[in-house]
Structure 1
Amino acid sequence: MNTPTLGVHLIVKNEAELLPRCLESLAGADEIVVVDTGSTDDSVAIARTYGAKVLLREWADDFSEARNAGLSAAGTDWLLVMDADEILKTPLQKIIELLRETKAEAFTVDIENWFGSRPEERLNHRLVRLFRNRQEYRYSGKIHEGVDAAIISKQGVYAIQDSDIGVVHFGYLPEMMARKNKISRNEHLLRLALAQQPEDDFYSYNLAVTCCQNGNLEEAEQLLRQTVSRAPLKVSYRPAMIRDLCKIYLALGKMSEIDALLARELQRYGDYPDLHFIQGQSWESQGLPERAFQSYQQAAALCDSSTPSGKYVREQGMCTFRPLHRMGVLSQELGQLEEAARYFHRSLQHYSLYAPALLGIAAAFQRLAVPDNDIAALLVQLVPPEQAAARTAVITTLFAIGAYEAIAGLSQESFPLERDTLVSILSAWIIAGKVQEAENALKEHKASLSGENVDQELLKQLWKLEAICHWEMGKRLLDVSEPFHKKMYDIDQLLSHKRAHPSELTAEPGFAPLITTLIELSVKLQRYGLAASLAELSPAHTADLAAALYEEGRLKEAGELFIDLARDKRAEGKVLFYIGEMLFDKGHYSEAAGWFQQLLEEAPGNEAARIGLSLCYLQLARLGLEEVVESIKEDDPHSPLLEDIAAIRNSMAILNRTPWHTQWSYRQRQGGTTP
């Protein structure tokens, strides 16, 4: 049997940065055809360097026109269509073997779209990208063009088969989207196409997706609602429309719409894990943990189903690590800590670097009174620190649960000071009392961070840490000329009383915010005396100290400062919120409402204060009704009064599902670190 020839076809415009990586993944193709639509960089020269046949075409706002220009120049038996921001994962020889044995006319390939660097930030879908070179197989559509309609019209739907061929698409990475201005370009082309074909469901759907990317959720919702209602049930993208519409509802807080839509659509797409997961999110937000757990359970059960992998557009982990993690969270909220740890562990078996599951299992074991050093050993076992990403995951998790002594006790051979862990490890050393060791390491690493490509933000963080080490050990900073360092030196002078008062400095841009940052950092590093000294530099910084103490769980010390601020009528901003929150937690709902109301007068858009105020009124209503019930000795479970109390409790449960309240780690709730 003759070996079929395979050509690769691309459209490019100013892709000099990405094109080499793409073309290297295609090495060995019998032919490479590149249609250039007006590059002003080195794209054409690069393509020719890789042996490509380059066709120069003027861009006419039509992707199909450009695609078909390349197809007309094809000289191979089979055609593989790629984009410059993609790479081919499957070896070409394996593709040739597939083509040698097949009678199919075309194949779909799996496109793995990257939205970020982590595996959970990926979305998979299938497209027809590989097909026989026939004159009648041509693309259609101005944008999101496709060739499958032409193939089906000539050969029928069964002429197209799925394949194991994999392509990675980097074009949705935020930096790529911004650099190429893809959202605006796509919106322009889609609106042009819809002006010509206003009833085209595929264009309407893709315009909705583009509106989502633009943050225009209201228009996206309207487009999807219209398109879902009229699109034929058999169109391949309909399940994805349901998924996207549900995600919009979720973002807009329209849970009843999700429930109504999925009550119908899950009967059609019961094997779609993404829909079960979204249903679980809806139940959770409504304060229905049992229903949410069941939905996540159904999503996880689909992991071993026989559903073809390419049947649906799917996010990574929707039937594995994501639902298992949420089942762990729900178990943890119910106090079932050992059960929660098991679900977190199962989640990590599917994806060991899933940060929410790592944090979940660490926090669960901490609440089970497992020593921090044993938790660290468990994390090292789950995520062996051979790779930098694994070491970062372990350090980040331990830092999040306040296991600073455990971090300080880790082997530097296994956990060296690296860019992504440097600040966390040195901070843990300072908290654990290893201030001198931290200062020595800071000097060494600051010296190594030099040159044109230095990370200035990281360098500033190291400067702040070093200053805190100096001040803790009674040392002074040296005078320096660089603006940021000069501000640090001025603060040093104030702390050493070499300047009487900072009044001449507070007007300088960035000076007061720097003191605020140093106060917050000192509190995080448990250098409370230093934080107090920094706050004494100006009365305005007392509020910064109070807020920082409160956020770190030092409620008693924060409360004393809140009293002083309230008495002197100096409470504002988040201090108003924290005072209201403290009073709310103590059951003083009427007083708490006054503070939330005061903040809302200052900042009407503060959603957390609005929810806090609503909960205060609901609690007062509940208490009032309960007094009436008690006074009249009401014992009928179906009485209107008891039903009203139940409704109020349900409303409070739903509001408390929103992240309005300050969250503290288990260690912070316990009042600090332990060995």
Structure 2
Amino acid sequence: MKVVVYAICKNEAQFVDRWMDSMGEADQVVVLDTGSEDDTVERLRARGALAKVEVISPWRFDVARNRSMELVPEDADICVCTDLDEVFHPGWRARLEEAWLPEAGQATYRYTWSFNPDGSEGVTFWYEKAHARHGYQWVHPVHEVLKWMGTGRPGPTVVAEGVQLDHHPDPSKSRGQYLPLLELSVQEDPEDDRNVHYLGREYMYRGRWDDCIRTLKRHLTMPSATWRDERAASMRYIAKSYLNKGERAQARDWYLRAIAEAPHLREPYMDLALALYEQGEWDGVLYFTGCALAITYRPRSYICEAASWGSLPHDLRSIALFHTGRLKEAREEARKAVELEPDNERLQGNLKLLENSPKEGG
């Protein structure tokens, strides 16, 4: 098979060597540079990539990605879209080929979007940015996705087990362009529930609580908004916005709605547990963290958040057990928290404090 990696970039010279080392398993690497002012293009060409320069104005991610896809040869069997701040684990190409079928449309593989300060994985989900050469186009100005534009039905999506892509971004890069592009996305396609959800979430990130509540309530009324995980996320963001507005009762009700919408997810339980922790409602903290820990299957979607699968549930339980006088159980939970995050000095301090506390009944 002919495997071609394609990408867009701008001012990413610092990532070129690492990225090319990772993408070197492909038969060819093609890149659309959208106006670098550093030596990104020269470095790419020196490493063997086909690099073209084109300024996209007005800027849209979908247009840029489609222009970069046009650089992929027509006879490519598998196109793999990555960014220069991403790295495949070695052996990715062989595993992708093993999973690929002649009639396949896309491949899904594991993606680590963020890492914790100690180097452990943060947010992980499954990506679908490997695809057949013909019939697909990128759509939406931001949070762009592949859409089938060919005749008939697209081929099946295969699961490329063992393919792992890691994201190591430049933290200094601004995401200021995201909000206007999301507003444009919703303006262009007001019935796209995914974009409405992302817009509401972006308003939450910006602290625009009323805009978040208004937008996400609309998301929940949309006939196409049927994915329970994403609906629950909208409810959680509405709750967080109410909490920041000081409306605790409204926040509690929306957290409970999120739990009812997606009882199979840890995140709604943990959000409510955190809210109750802030209020010193220790029995509630214990109940909802217990519900979260009873869920042992970690979903493969982007909705899954690292904190709910890390030390946080045990940390909150330890504190709640301490405040309700159950020191032995508090120590056990504190140990579990430290095992999951051994370099966290606060967790270590809590455990030491509990171990030095008088024994129950003493």
TM > 0.5 = yes
Q: Which residue of 2 aligns with 1:73?
A: 71
Whether 1:145 and 2:144 are equivalent positions in the alignment is yes
Deviation at 1:340, TM superposition (A): 0.5
State the SS of the aligned residue for 1:165.
Answer: strand
| Alpha carbons 2:236, 2:254 under 8 Å: kept | no
Q: Which residue of 2 aligns with 1:616?
A: none
Whether 1:5 and 2:2 are equivalent positions in the alignment is yes
Deviation by residue 1:468-514 (Cα, 9 ceiling, x = unmatched): xxxxxxxxxxxxxxxxxxxxxxxxxxxxxxxxxxxxxxxxxxxxxxx
Match of 2:43 among 39, 42, 46: 46
Whether 1:357 and 2:350 are equivalent positions in the alignment is no
- Between the aligned partners of 1:320 and 1:116, the Cα distance in structure 2 is 10
Tell me: higher relative CO, structure 1 or 2? Use CA pairs within 8 A at least 6 residues apart.
2
Match of 1:325 among 315, 322, 327: 315
- Between the aligned partners of 1:231 and 1:344, the Cα distance in structure 2 is 44
Question: CA separation of 1:81/1:345 partners in 2, compared to 1, >3 Å: closer, same or farther?
Answer: same
Deviation at 1:150, TM superposition (A): 4.7
Question: CA separation of 1:153/1:209 partners in 2, compared to 1, >3 Å: closer, same or farther?
Answer: farther
Q: Which residue of 1 aligns with 2:16?
A: 19
Q: Which residue of 2 aligns with 1:155?
A: 154
Deviation by residue 1:95-114 (Cα, 9 ceiling, x = unmatched): 34434568642122333223
Question: CA separation of 1:251/1:95 partners in 2, compared to 1, >3 Å: closer, same or farther?
Answer: farther
Whether 1:217 and 2:209 are equivalent positions in the alignment is yes
Q: Which residue of 1 aligns with 2:254?
A: 261
Question: CA separation of 1:347/1:187 partners in 2, compared to 1, >3 Å: closer, same or farther?
Answer: same
Q: Percent of pairs identical after alignment? A: 20
Deviation at 1:297, TM superposition (A): 0.8
Question: CA separation of 1:44/1:126 partners in 2, compared to 1, >3 Å: closer, same or farther?
Answer: same
| Alpha carbons 2:282, 2:323 under 8 Å: kept | no
Equivalent residue letter for 1:168: D
Match of 2:329 among 310, 319, 339: 339
Within a 5 Å distance, the mapping from 1:194-593 to structure 2 comes to 194-230=186-222, 232-235=224-227, 237-303=230-296, 305=297, 309-368=299-358
Within a 5 Å distance, the mapping from 1:111-126 to structure 2 comes to 111-114=111-114, 117-118=117-118, 122-126=122-126
| Alpha carbons 2:31, 2:52 under 8 Å: kept | yes
Count of equivalent residues: 355
| Alpha carbons 1:120, 1:315 under 8 Å: kept | no
- Between the aligned partners of 1:339 and 1:161, the Cα distance in structure 2 is 41
Deviation by residue 1:552-611 (Cα, 9 ceiling, x = unmatched): xxxxxxxxxxxxxxxxxxxxxxxxxxxxxxxxxxxxxxxxxxxxxxxxxxxxxxxxxxxx
| Alpha carbons 2:92, 2:163 under 8 Å: kept | no
Deviation by residue 1:329-383 (Cα, 9 ceiling, x = unmatched): 10111122221110111222333234443222111112238xxxxxxxxxxxxxx
| Alpha carbons 1:151, 1:159 under 8 Å: kept | no
Deviation by residue 1:372-413 (Cα, 9 ceiling, x = unmatched): xxxxxxxxxxxxxxxxxxxxxxxxxxxxxxxxxxxxxxxxxx
More helix by share: 1
Question: CA separation of 1:250/1:9 partners in 2, compared to 1, >3 Å: closer, same or farther?
Answer: farther
Deviation at 1:73, TM superposition (A): 2.5
Question: CA separation of 1:247/1:83 partners in 2, compared to 1, >3 Å: closer, same or farther?
Answer: farther
Q: Which residue of 2 aligns with 1:420?
A: none
- Between the aligned partners of 2:151 and 2:323, the Cα distance in structure 1 is 52
- Between the aligned partners of 1:159 and 1:53, the Cα distance in structure 2 is 28
Deviation at 1:294, TM superposition (A): 1.3
State the SS of the aligned residue for 1:155.
Answer: coil
| Alpha carbons 2:8, 2:31 under 8 Å: kept | yes
TM-score (norm: length of structure 2): 0.86
Q: Which residue of 1 aligns with 2:82?
A: 82
Q: Where in structure 2 are there 5+ consecutive unaligned residues?
A: none
Higher-Rg member (1/2): 1
- Between the aligned partners of 1:152 and 1:341, the Cα distance in structure 2 is 61
Question: CA separation of 1:232/1:263 partners in 2, compared to 1, >3 Å: closer, same or farther?
Answer: farther
- Between the aligned partners of 1:248 and 1:149, the Cα distance in structure 2 is 36
Whether 1:28 and 2:25 are equivalent positions in the alignment is yes
Whether 1:95 and 2:95 are equivalent positions in the alignment is yes
Equivalent residue letter for 1:128: E
| Alpha carbons 1:124, 1:313 under 8 Å: kept | no
- Between the aligned partners of 2:251 and 2:161, the Cα distance in structure 1 is 34
State the SS of the aligned residue for 2:117.
Answer: coil
Deviation by residue 1:250-297 (Cα, 9 ceiling, x = unmatched): 444443233322333323311111111112123333443212211101
- Between the aligned partners of 1:189 and 1:122, the Cα distance in structure 2 is 26
More strand by share: 2
| Alpha carbons 1:110, 1:127 under 8 Å: kept | yes
- Between the aligned partners of 1:106 and 1:55, the Cα distance in structure 2 is 26
State the SS of the aligned residue for 2:138.
Answer: coil
Question: CA separation of 1:257/1:85 partners in 2, compared to 1, >3 Å: closer, same or farther?
Answer: farther
Deviation by residue 1:603-639 (Cα, 9 ceiling, x = unmatched): xxxxxxxxxxxxxxxxxxxxxxxxxxxxxxxxxxxxx
Deviation at 1:129, TM superposition (A): 1.0
Deviation at 1:160, TM superposition (A): 5.4
Equivalent residue letter for 2:143: H
- Between the aligned partners of 1:210 and 1:265, the Cα distance in structure 2 is 19
- Between the aligned partners of 2:185 and 2:225, the Cα distance in structure 1 is 23
Superposed CA RMSD in Å reads: 2.9
Deviation at 1:224, TM superposition (A): 2.0
- Between the aligned partners of 2:274 and 2:102, the Cα distance in structure 1 is 43
- Between the aligned partners of 2:348 and 2:336, the Cα distance in structure 1 is 11
- Between the aligned partners of 1:200 and 1:274, the Cα distance in structure 2 is 24
Question: CA separation of 1:286/1:121 partners in 2, compared to 1, >3 Å: closer, same or farther?
Answer: farther
| Alpha carbons 2:87, 2:166 under 8 Å: kept | yes
| Alpha carbons 2:196, 2:215 under 8 Å: kept | yes
Question: CA separation of 1:103/1:367 partners in 2, compared to 1, >3 Å: closer, same or farther?
Answer: farther
Question: CA separation of 1:311/1:192 partners in 2, compared to 1, >3 Å: closer, same or farther?
Answer: closer
State the SS of the aligned residue for 1:277.
Answer: helix
Question: CA separation of 1:260/1:287 partners in 2, compared to 1, >3 Å: closer, same or farther?
Answer: same
Q: Where in structure 1 are there 5+ consecutive unaligned residues?
A: 370-675
Equivalent residue letter for 1:181: S
